[in-house]
Structure 1
Amino acid sequence: MSRPIILVALVVFACKAACYAPVLSRSHIRRRQRCGDAIALSDYRKKKVVVTGLGTFTSLGHDAETFFANLLDGKCGIGPVTRFDPDLSPIKISSEVHDFDATKYWEPKEAKRYDRYTHLAMAAAKTAMADANLDAGDVDGDRFGVLIGSGVGGLETVEASCKILFNKGAKRITPFLLPSIIGNTAGSMVALALGAKGPNFGIVSACATGTHAIGEACRYLQLGEADVMLAGGSEAAITPLGFAGFASMRAMCANGNDSPQTASRPFDADRSGFVMGEGAGVLLLETEEHALARGARIYCELAGYAANCDAHHITAPHPEGEGMANCLLKAMGGAGVAPSDVQYINAHGTSTPLNDKFETLAYKRVFGEHASKLKVSSTKGAIGHLLGAAGGVEAAICCKVLQTNSIPPTINYETPDPDCDLDYVPNVKYVSDVPIEVAISDNLGFGGHNAALVFKRYPAA
């Protein structure tokens, strides 16, 4: 065979190979277009993802409407610890979900078998379904997924079981111990309850867990592998061991026992650590076509997601905000959003000296001169740090911001910090005169994890 014929054959083979390769970039799409083949995966990539249901359980309310109204009013849900004997810890304040009855969402016998973090997840998931006016029986189970994670898992059950083991022996340990404590059980139990047979696993990335779960669920919908996804995070780590661990790291506020309502003060010069909270935040996500076909009320579009790692330190953020800055840029790029389009950021804002400083630096790196025009608020002043549930709850806040054009304040912001000099919406809500079109929720987690979600008004202006 002559050399020209061989070259032609190789070119034809390369074109055919390109035609059947997965569509992962615009260059791949253009290559397939030249080959004249259908671009099935590019169609999947074009699928819009919308938010149609919100389920939040926090110290400020058991539904998104009540919770958001309390945030806008500047209320604080932080108070004395009641989940355990406060004499066991030098830190005696927390943000707890009070008046919560798991048996409203579980059979009493089932509820006894599982940890509080799973109870909260089930409650948030079912509340999101109800908020979306969607019955599980009306969804194709094979195309209905659940991604709900937890940063810590069943810590209450671990501690209670250790007492049983040491005091009564191994034979008294329940066979439900391991299913109760592992971090994937919440999503599994929700799937069992709702008949969701689609994508399902637990994500664990510390305080970025909820954001990762929502972002990964979004990808399944974008790729056409599901029509409906429940996604978010749940946490119930207000225990003696949980407090002892964080206190030994000097991450928690140690001087707020006498004034719990003002202990968490993100971006304030006098901030000294976070206040631990508990709760759950779950979003119901759908492809746009599925939501429209059933006439769903749509909060907003989930347009972008990105995740990366600092690869810098196990607990400290990158000192120049590099990882979070890159994460935000990738998320905005995926959403087709320019930095100047963003109007609101629900910040990670933990009220720790390092996080708030370096997070502010990351925003300045990404947004440049536009950073001074952003509204940036941390709702952890009001509800504390919900760890693995933070991302789910804060994503729900962004959805409500886009729906109402109202931004919750950063409460307890009194003394400006020269290193934290953006507009943090101090103490009083902000009501925009113009529609808020783009909002971002971002979170960081131990291990150097960064994750960000970009939400757009729906329909876009």
Structure 2
Amino acid sequence: MKEERITITALSSISPLGCSPDEIWKNYLKSDHHLVEKDFGDDSALVAPLSDSSAEAVKSIRNSDQKYKTLDASVLYAMQASRLAVKQAGWEKEDCFGINIGSSRGATGLFEKYHEEFLREKQSSTLASPTTTLGNISSWIAHDLQSEGPELSHSITCSTALHALVNGVAWIKSGMSDKFLVGGSEASLTPFTIAQMKALKIYAENKNDSFPCKALDLNKKRNSMVLGEGAAVICMEIGGDNETLAYVEGVGYATEVLKHNISISDDAICFQKSMKMALKDTNPDEVDVIVMHAPGTIKGDSSEVKAIEKVFGDKIPALTTNKWKIGHTFGASGLLSLELGVLMMQNEHFINVPYLENKKSPEKIKKILINAVGFGGNAVSVLLSKP
């Protein structure tokens, strides 16, 4: 029996770049970043908050239902992106599509709010538990869309969104579901989260630099990660009557034994395995672009590049990342990277990293590999091809 291809028939996001494909692409074509300094209690930090248009869309969805006013921003971000994607795909609730949307941190804002309240009042609010469970995101989206298919939530740190994609592929290939809505959402620009990242000594400190997050710059002398926020989802199905944005040619995943709580091996063995699995029978020479995870840390960036060199040898595809522009959006980052890949294929235009020397541009953009990895060495790679 011939295996049918899995297609991406819709893609939607909200992020520092905006909430519509045109707005997002226009911002990608600009060589400036979306990082700003923001106060967090007694401290300040560089972050990449939602664009004004994205924030307005989230405000509208919060005000659309009294029940939504008590939900965490991470749920609302995913809800907004999901509404747009399902509408774009032309799905109806009777289609019985599955939902798998995860988050690295989940209801960060509400957790901090309710914990502060508990310390102050010595008791918890009634809604503290039901509104901060990780299953909130997919459950509320299923409610909002009135879908009747399976709904899953999970957290696999920064590779969460691409793991959701892998889950969706597995469900579709098993024949248990014809269609799946997958993605990731993160609203982690909170005092405690920022403090945690700074404690790891990986956060950007040079606020006066033209490009404070030096993602993919292998010559940087200090870590330069910056946090962003947002959500991104895609609609996947077999074949599909709608316009195909991209084909999912292959998926790969791997976890490596760690020597430290947060770091991976010097040559990212997990990425080597995940990329090889995603490529499967595809000749590495056919890959035109790799959208890297590249968080802006010295170790994270260099280990991924070394893994790419191991897999691709002396024929390295064009490399890029979006974290210098929108920061690291944790659980949403993998699908925001995928969005960049799809947009580059659609527009036949490569988005490079402006401060890099010896930039390589691809001759064509037909096949793109997307990478993501999180704390714990959980790597995922997804190979996309142009319709």
Q: Which interval holds the TM-score relative to the shorter structure?
A: over 0.9
For residues 189-228 of structure 1, what are the structure 2 equivalents within 5 Å?
A: 189-228=140-179
For residues 356-435 of structure 1, what are the structure 2 equivalents within 5 Å?
A: 356-371=301-316, 374-413=317-356, 434=364
Q: What residue number does 1:300 align with?
A: 246
Cα RMSD for the two superposed structures:
1.8
Q: What residue number does 2:264 align with?
A: 317
2:224 pairs with 1:273: yes
Q: What residue number does 2:128 align with?
A: 177
Shift of 1:87: 4.4
Instruction: Give the letter for the 2:165 counterpart.
Output: I
Shift of 1:347: 0.3
Instruction: Give the letter for the 1:449 counterpart.
Output: N
Shift of 1:63: 2.2
Task: Decide which moves more: 378-387 or 397-406.
Answer: 397-406
Q: What residue number does 1:326 align with?
A: 273
2:112 pairs with 1:149: no
Say if 1:115 and 1:299 are closer, same or farther in 2 by CA, change over 3 A.
Answer: same
Shift of 1:299: 0.6
Q: What residue number does 2:196 align with?
A: 245
What is the alpha-carbon distance in structure 2 between the residues aligned to residue 87 and residue 162 of structure 1? Answer: 16
In structure 1, stretches of 5+ residues that fail to align are 1-41, 417-422
On the 8 A contact 2:17/2:51 being kept in 1, the answer is no
Say if 1:331 and 1:409 are closer, same or farther in 2 by CA, change over 3 A.
Answer: same
What is the alpha-carbon distance in structure 2 between the residues aligned to residue 300 and residue 222 of structure 1? Answer: 17
Q: How many residues align?
A: 380
1:438 to 363, 367, 372: 367
Instruction: Give the letter for the 2:206 counterpart.
Output: N
What is the alpha-carbon distance in structure 1 between the residues aligned to residue 359 and residue 20 of structure 2? Answer: 25
Moved over 4 A (4+): none
Q: What residue number does 1:264 align with?
A: 213
What is the alpha-carbon distance in structure 2 between the residues aligned to residue 131 and residue 204 of structure 1? Answer: 26
What is the alpha-carbon distance in structure 2 between the residues aligned to residue 331 and residue 78 of structure 1? Answer: 32
What is the alpha-carbon distance in structure 1 between the residues aligned to residue 189 and residue 354 of structure 2? Answer: 22
Q: What residue number does 1:105 align with?
A: 61
What is the alpha-carbon distance in structure 1 between the residues aligned to residue 257 and residue 42 of structure 2? Answer: 35
On the 8 A contact 2:46/2:204 being kept in 1, the answer is no
Identity between Structure 1 and Structure 2 (%): 21
Instruction: Give the letter for the 2:161 counterpart.
Output: G
Shift of 1:355: 0.7
Instruction: Give the letter for the 1:349 counterpart.
Output: A
Q: What residue number does 2:379 align with?
A: 450
What is the alpha-carbon distance in structure 2 between the residues aligned to residue 197 and residue 311 of structure 1? Answer: 39
CA deviations on 1:300-329 (whole Å, 9 max, x unpaired) are: 101111111011232111112222111100
What is the alpha-carbon distance in structure 1 between the residues aligned to residue 204 and residue 26 of structure 2? Answer: 26
Instruction: Give the letter for the 1:387 counterpart.
Output: F
Shift of 1:73: 2.1
What is the alpha-carbon distance in structure 2 between the residues aligned to residue 212 and residue 205 of structure 1? Answer: 7
TM-score between the two structures when normalised by the length of structure 1 = 0.79
On the 8 A contact 1:307/1:452 being kept in 2, the answer is yes
Shift of 1:424: 5.0
Q: What residue number does 1:338 align with?
A: 283
Task: Decide which moves more: 267-276 or 347-356.
Answer: 267-276
SS across alignment from 1:251: coil
Shift of 1:280: 0.6
SS across alignment from 1:181: coil
What is the alpha-carbon distance in structure 1 between the residues aligned to residue 60 and residue 120 of structure 2? Answer: 32
What is the alpha-carbon distance in structure 2 between the residues aligned to residue 353 and residue 69 of structure 1? Answer: 30
On the 8 A contact 2:185/2:332 being kept in 1, the answer is yes
What is the alpha-carbon distance in structure 1 between the residues aligned to residue 150 and residue 366 of structure 2? Answer: 30
CA deviations on 1:364-407 (whole Å, 9 max, x unpaired) are: 00001211xx1110110000000111011111111122222112
SS across alignment from 2:75: helix
Say if 1:65 and 1:54 are closer, same or farther in 2 by CA, change over 3 A.
Answer: farther
Instruction: Give the letter for the 2:329 counterpart.
Output: L
2:26 pairs with 1:69: yes
Instruction: Give the letter for the 2:318 counterpart.
Output: K
2:133 pairs with 1:187: no
2:69 pairs with 1:122: no
CA deviations on 1:117-161 (whole Å, 9 max, x unpaired) are: 1110101111212333x1424x422xx001100000111101111
On the 8 A contact 2:253/2:273 being kept in 1, the answer is no
TM-score between the two structures when normalised by the length of structure 2 = 0.93
Say if 1:424 and 1:315 are closer, same or farther in 2 by CA, change over 3 A.
Answer: farther
Say if 1:447 and 1:353 are closer, same or farther in 2 by CA, change over 3 A.
Answer: same
Q: Which has the higher helix share?
A: 1
Shift of 1:177: 1.9
SS across alignment from 2:183: strand
What is the alpha-carbon distance in structure 1 between the residues aligned to residue 199 and residue 329 of structure 2? Answer: 18
1:88 to 42, 48, 70: 42
On the 8 A contact 2:41/2:191 being kept in 1, the answer is no
On the 8 A contact 1:64/1:396 being kept in 2, the answer is no
Larger Rg: 1
Instruction: Give the letter for the 2:283 counterpart.
Output: A
Shift of 1:58: 0.9
Shift of 1:345: 0.6
SS across alignment from 1:442: strand
What is the alpha-carbon distance in structure 1 between the residues aligned to residue 225 and residue 346 of structure 2? Answer: 29
On the 8 A contact 1:440/1:453 being kept in 2, the answer is yes
On the 8 A contact 1:72/1:409 being kept in 2, the answer is no
On the 8 A contact 2:216/2:296 being kept in 1, the answer is yes
In structure 2, stretches of 5+ residues that fail to align are none
Instruction: Give the letter for the 2:369 counterpart.
Output: I
